[in-house]
Structure 1
Amino acid sequence: MEIQQQAIKKLANSMRIYVETHFDFQRLKNIDKEEAVDNLDRAFEAKLEAFHSLYDVSKSDIDYFSHGDTAVLILLRNAIHHRDHLLFKSWNQDMALNDGYKRHLGAEFLLAGYDVLDSPARMRYFYKLEDFYLRVDESLSSPYIEKRMRASNRKKLIGQLDTDLHFSDIKQRAKSDRYPDNQVYINVMPIFISAVCRVFKSLKEKGVEFVGFDAKAYEEPFTNELEVDFSKVVYEPLRIV
């Protein structure tokens, strides 16, 4: 259990660092936009790495691939860790760097996400929705398919994306409102929150203690307070002007 305690502490520490980086984003953006975006991206990726470290030491106790939230975090971490593709650039990177927003002047984007405890998520971190499918859906003939994953597992994950996380509802909404696939983004912060809640609750029930200041600070919210309802998708159209 001590190894799992260390992994929980590492994840909680990375979560705190992300929050601090998030709060500093606006200040730093006015000084050095590239540094602000890169800092936030690296902080989010550090959370994914820490989540994967916890997965490594607890996968014999928890089936991470039986739920969409935990399964997609593993997919996301592996995709970003290996970087053998051009997928999963954050909204900030797409829009804020290299005058990206200028290439989309006049275009409208559909930002989708989920409430946390029936309220809008306080933190937002967006990836293109289509990138998840380009990583696992063979029917799209994507050059960036996850080849290390079995075809049966990719098919299972597509079902979890569509059903557990209601990505199919988002795709249908985007199609009916005529949004191009590359103009639909998903806020992954609620997915991260839900996945961490699931794992922290399970480990706590198995008797694993939360050791260290950061782990203690996140223990109660992520084991007894926070909740995400994926059936309630929140949509936010955003036009670049």
Structure 2
Amino acid sequence: MNAIETALRRLANNMRLYGEAHLRYSDLAKVDSEEAIENVDRAFEAVLEAFHTLYDVSGDLVEYFEHADTTLLIALRNALHHRDHPLFHSLLSQLWLSGDPERWLGAKFLLAGHGMLAGNRALMTHYVKLDDIYARLDPKSVSPHRDTFLKGERAAARMSLVESGLALGAIRERARQKRYPSNQVYLDMVPILISAVSRAFIALQAAGVGFNGYDANAYKDTFTSELRVDLQSAEFSMVSMTNLQIFVGPKLSILQMSRSLESPHG
């Protein structure tokens, strides 16, 4: 139990640091955009590492592989941990740190995420390419970067769970209907992270695990009774890379760059 409480405290601490990296992003990006982007991306990866540590010590208490959110989060952590492939670079990094941003002039990116049941919206985002999820997890993929740890029916069952549990089919269909190139369709991992952490916290609280430390205690009520994500509700926004957008550069977060597509005809 002490190991679980320690891992839980570490996860809560890393979530706070991730939030702080986001808060500092805009000011830092005006001075050093590369550092600002790297700080946010590395802080997100630290959250994934801490979540995986919690999974390592609490697998008997939380059904991690019975749910799409926790399954994808662990798979994403494993992919980033081994990093033997070019997948899962954030949209911020892709736009501003991977070659001349002007190559994207005129491009439009479809950004998909999941809505909060209470109607509020997360103030942080971390977008990864939807194609990368399929390239890594889909056993039907011909990608050389596919995860082969699970094979056959187990790999197919994992992909089916993630795809259906996170409404990925609906997102792909929206992209197809609106004719977005598949490499310009991105999924926000933050609502999925929120849902997964909430699921784990609720199960651990029910098992009598202590939420020790300032951060863990501060997040306890938020993630056990307040935050709920509708994983079947896909919400869409769009980033258009205009001359103005490229001129302004990475001083704006993806959330600040995007505009909502609330209508199904948007």
Could you tell me the TM-score, scaled by structure 1's length?
A: 0.97
2:249 aligned partner:
none
Paired amino acid for 1:82: H
SS of 2:140's partner is helix
Show the 5 A alignment for 1:122-141.
Answer: 122-141=123-142
Post-superposition Cα deviations, 1:180-216, rounded to whole Å, max 9, x if no partner, equal 1100001110000000000000000011110000000
2:60 aligned partner:
60
Q: Cα gap change, 1:98/1:165 in structure 2, threshold over 3 Å: closer, same or farther?
A: closer
- Provide structure 1 residue ranges, at least 5 long, that are not aligned to the other structure: none
Q: Which moved further from structure 2: 198-207 or 228-237?
A: 228-237
* Cα deviation, residue 154, structure 1: 2.0
1:205 aligned partner:
206
Show the 5 A alignment for 1:34-113.
Answer: 34-113=34-113
Identity of aligned residues (%): 44
CA contact (8 A) 2:211 2:220 kept: yes
Taking the aligned partners of 2:200 and 2:33, their CA distance within structure 1 comes to 35
Taking the aligned partners of 2:10 and 2:76, their CA distance within structure 1 comes to 19
Q: Which moved further from structure 2: 150-159 or 10-19?
A: 150-159
1:120 aligned partner:
121
* Cα deviation, residue 100, structure 1: 4.5
2:262 aligned partner:
none
Paired amino acid for 1:120: R
Q: Cα gap change, 1:61/1:232 in structure 2, threshold over 3 Å: closer, same or farther?
A: same
Runs of 4+ more than 3 Å apart? none
CA contact (8 A) 1:104 1:240 kept: yes
SS of 1:50's partner is helix
1:193 aligned partner:
194
2:239 aligned partner:
238
SS of 1:20's partner is helix
- Provide structure 2 residue ranges, at least 5 long, that are not aligned to the other structure: 243-266
CA contact (8 A) 1:111 1:185 kept: yes
Paired amino acid for 1:89: H
Show the 5 A alignment for 1:159-170.
Answer: 159-170=160-171
* Cα deviation, residue 138, structure 1: 2.9
2:173 aligned partner:
172
Taking the aligned partners of 2:6 and 2:126, their CA distance within structure 1 comes to 26
**Does residue 26 of structure 1 match 2:29?**
no
Post-superposition Cα deviations, 1:29-63, rounded to whole Å, max 9, x if no partner, equal 11111111111111000000000000000012222
Taking the aligned partners of 1:213 and 1:151, their CA distance within structure 2 comes to 44
CA contact (8 A) 1:114 1:121 kept: no
1:182 aligned partner:
183
Taking the aligned partners of 2:26 and 2:105, their CA distance within structure 1 comes to 22
Paired amino acid for 2:37: V
Taking the aligned partners of 2:89 and 2:171, their CA distance within structure 1 comes to 19
* Cα deviation, residue 101, structure 1: 2.8
Taking the aligned partners of 2:41 and 2:88, their CA distance within structure 1 comes to 11
Could you tell me the TM-score, scaled by structure 2's length?
A: 0.88
